Structure 1
Amino acid sequence: MSLAEILESEIQGEISAIQQQANTRAAEIVAKAQEQAQALIDSRTRLLANEKAAGLTRARSAADLDSNAQRLSASDSLQMRAFQEAEAQLKVIPQHPEYPQIVQRLLEEAHAALPTAEAIETSSGELETVRQVAQNLGIQAPVRVNDSVTTGVRLVGAGGKTSLQNTLLGRLQSGRETLSAQVSRLLQE
C-alpha cells in the first residue's frame, strides 16, 4: 500500500468519525472541526481540541448571521474563515504541554513510512521538542531547522531526493476538500 493510499485511508477514517459524531450530536460546525482535530491529533490533545472548538464556535456564530442574509455567497466566505481559524488554532499547538505527544505520533508515522531518513526537519520554535522526541524514539537522524515545516516534521531521505512531511497543518489541508463539502451541507441545513 503506497503512502498516498495510507494517508487517504487515514483521512477517510477521520472523515467517517466526524460524520458519526455529527449525526449523533446534531453538531454545529464547531463540533465537526473539534472532532476532526481530535481524530487527527489523538484523544490525548483534549485541551487543544477544546480551545479549537471555542475558536470555531465564534466562526459558527458569524456563519449563522451571514447565511441568514446571503446563504449562497456567504457559504464560501464562511468556509474560508472556518479553515483560517482552524489553521490559526493549529499554529499555536506547539506552545501546549501536549505537543511532545503529538510530535511523537507524527514522527513515528513519518519514520514508519520513511525509515531510512537521513535528516529530520522542523521549525526553529519546535526544534528542541522534536530533538527530544527523536532521541526518546531512538531515531538517530539529525534534526535541523526548516522554518517552512511547522506543526510537525519533515523527514528527508537519502541525498534529499525523497522527503515525507507529516504536519497538523498538512493534514488539515489534505482533508480540506472533503471537509468543505460537509461544511457546505451543514451550512445549508
Structure 2
Amino acid sequence: MHSRSSDPLDSALTDATSRICAAVLGVAASNPVVVIDGRSGAGKSSLAERLIRGWPLRTPVQLLALDSIYPGWDGLERGAQTAREAVLVPHGRGRLGIWRRWDWERGEEAEAHAVDPALGLIVEGCGALTPASAPLADVTVWVDGPHASRRARALARDGGGFRVQWDRWAAQEDAHMAQHEPHLLAGISIRTP
C-alpha cells in the first residue's frame, strides 16, 4: 500500500505519473511520445521530471521542454511549431530530430540537440498539444490548476523576470487555448491544487 503524501501537489503529481506510466505501457512501443501541455505553473515540468524518473520502459526517454526553444517572451506559438516540425514529425517518421536551444540572455538560438527516433520522447510545455501535434503523440496530457496557485509556483520558480512578463505570457496561453482547445485533445487531464 502506498502512503499518501501530506502535500496535495506531490499527491496529484504522483497520481498523474502513475496514470501516464500506465498509458505508456499500454502503447506497447519502445519509443512512445508523450505530449504534456498546460498553463504556466500548473506542474508540467515537475510532472515531466517525475515521468523521466519513473519511465516504465527499459529504453531511456528524451525530454524536450518548450521553455528551451520558445524564441523569447512572444514565442509560444513559434516554439510549439518548431517542436512539432523539427522534433515530433521526424520522430514519427523514424528520423533524427534536431532542435536548437534558445539563449534567453542573448536573445538568440544556441547549440543544437538531437532527438533519437528509436527512443521515447516527452514534449512538455504550453502550446505543445494542438490538432496538428496530437496525432503525432501516443499519450496526450493536459495539466491545469487554480490561477493563484499556478502564478505563485511560476513566480517562485522563475523569479522577478517572469513577474513582469506574466500577463504577456498568459495572453499567449489564452490564445493557444482558444484556438487549439488542448484540454479537449488530452487523453489524460490532471488538476493540480
TM-score by length of 1: 0.28
**Bigger strand share:** 2
**Bigger helix share:** 1
Q: Which has the larger radius of gyration?
A: 1
Higher relative contact order (CA 8 A, sep 6+): 2
TM-score by length of 2: 0.28
